[in-house]
Structures are given as structure tokens and as C-alpha cells.
């Protein structure tokens, strides 16, 4: 932990370290180079820390701590965004959803899939395909982009004219607000 950090940043890092498992918190040189930028070609920025929760509870805990210390948080999905939205800003915590990944349920009766925010789009397409369904959302970054990033950006993609934008495919969301308040529902698309 650097001694040159402002006291709020020091306190936030200490709080994160005290409440998150070691695998969910990376700081300093341990933050992978890929998390310093997205696909926008803007110069890299090293975040105060990289938080990598593997559950909605972990996301809420990280948000609660950062909000309490008034430290900004930059969510990161697959880092394929071209507008710089997932690139860290100075003094912010980067919140990667990469460990919060996986298909929770495919319901054939309602033709819905319930997935975690960090699930790559291509994994959802494949799982749906294996179950005899079709996910209309598709973009060139399918192997890297995550459903959370697709919804945050309201991605269009290759089939947007026929099937519409990403958010039009969503029936429900489980979310964590910047205040750390969370919802009970699940993401279905």
C-alpha cells in the first residue's frame, strides 16, 4: 500500500482487504495490464485496486465499502467497449465481473436463460443452442464481451435490425446500485 495515497484511498483499500477474500482484490503491480484499459485505444490508467467478486453479495460488499469512502467505481465487463467506459479513472476502483460468470438456468417452458453478469455472450449463445434455442444478440466481440457489458451499453450488433437492441431481450435484472442497495430479481433474456 503506497504511503502517498490520500487517506480516503488508504482507508478504502484497508476496508476492502479486510472484507473481501484475497482472490477478489488485486492492487499495485498485481493488477493485470488488460484491466488498465479497454478497446478504446485510450492510454492505460492503473486503478486504485481491482476488485473481482464472484457473487452478487461480493459486488454489493465492494460497492458498500467504496461508497462509504466516496471512492469511484468503474465496472469492467469483457473490456471490448470502444468508448472508454470500462477504462479506469485515476483514483477509482475497477470492478471486474470476470469471476461472476456462468449460466444459472435455461427454462425451456418460458424460453428464458438466467445468467451471471460476467458471462461471455458466446457462452450464452452456445448454451442456448445446445438447448434448442437461439440468442438473437450477436456481435463480433462475442467471445470476449460479457452480457453485463452488453446490457450496460445496450449493444446492437449484427442482427439488430431484425431483433432489436440488447435491453429489449431482458425480462429481469438482479442489480447492485452505487449505494450498494441490491435487488432480488434475476437477469433473463
Residues of this chain that bind ligand FAD (CB under 6 A): 38-39, 74-82, 85-86, 97, 117, 139-141, 145-146, 148-150, 152-153, 155-158
What is the smallest separation between the CB atom of 138 and ligand FAD, expressed in angstroms? 8
What is the smallest separation between the CB atom of 173 and ligand FAD, expressed in angstroms? 10
Q: How far apart are CA 77 and CA 59, in angstroms?
A: 13
Neighbour tally for 75: CB within 10 Å? 18
What is the smallest separation between the CB atom of 146 and ligand FAD, expressed in angstroms? 4
Closest to ligand FAD by CB, 58 vs 77, is: 77
Q: Which H helix or E strand runs over 8?
A: helix 7-19
| Residue whose beta carbon is closest to ligand FAD | 149
Task: Name the pairing type of β-strands 93-96 and 25-26.
Answer: unpaired
What is the smallest separation between the CB atom of 37 and ligand FAD, expressed in angstroms? 10
Q: How far apart are CA 59 and CA 47, in angstroms?
A: 17
What is the smallest separation between the CB atom of 165 and ligand FAD, expressed in angstroms? 8
Residue 31 has which C-alpha cell?
493488477
Closest to ligand FAD by CB, 16 vs 79, is: 79
Closest to ligand FAD by CB, 66 vs 86, is: 86
Closest to ligand FAD by CB, 68 vs 72, is: 72
Q: How many Å separate Cα 114 from the centre of its chain?
A: 16
Q: Which H helix or E strand runs over 26?
A: strand 25-26
Closest to ligand FAD by CB, 47 vs 149, is: 149
Cβ neighbours of residue 78 closer than 8 Å, sequence gap 6 or more: 120, 141, 144, 145, 146, 149
Amino acid at each position: 500500500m503506497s504511503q502517498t495515497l490520500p487517506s480516503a484511498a488508504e482507508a478504502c483499500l484497508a476496508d476492502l482487504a479486510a472484507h473481501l477474500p484475497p482472490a477478489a482484490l488485486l492492487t499495485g503491480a498485481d493488477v493485470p495490464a488488460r484491466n488498465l484499459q479497454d478497446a478504446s485505444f485510450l492510454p492505460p490508467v492503473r486503478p486504485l485496486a481491482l476488485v473481482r467478486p464472484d457473487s452478487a453479495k461480493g459486488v454489493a460488499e465492494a460497492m458498500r465499502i467504496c461508497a462509504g469512502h466516496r471512492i469511484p467505481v468503474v465496472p469492467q465487463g469483457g473490456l471490448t467497449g470502444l468508448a472508454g467506459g470500462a477504462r479506469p479513472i485515476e483514483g477509482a476502483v475497477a470492478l471486474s465481473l470476470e469471476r461472476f460468470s456462468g449460466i444459472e438456468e435455461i427454462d425451456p417452458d418460458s424460453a428464458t436463460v438466467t445468467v451471471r453478469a460476467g458471462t461471455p455472450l458466446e457462452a450464452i449463445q452456445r448454451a442456448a443452442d445446445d438447448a434448442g434455442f437461439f440468442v438473437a444478440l450477436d456481435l463480433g466481440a462475442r467471445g470476449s464481451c460479457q452480457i453485463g457489458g452488453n446490457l450496460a451499453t445496450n449493444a446492437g450488433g449484427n442482427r439488430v435490425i431484425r431483433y432489436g437492441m440488447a435491453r429489449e431481450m431482458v425480462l429481469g435484472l438482479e442489480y447492485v446500485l452505487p449505494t450498494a442497495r441490491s435487488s432480488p430479481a434475476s437477469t433473463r433474456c
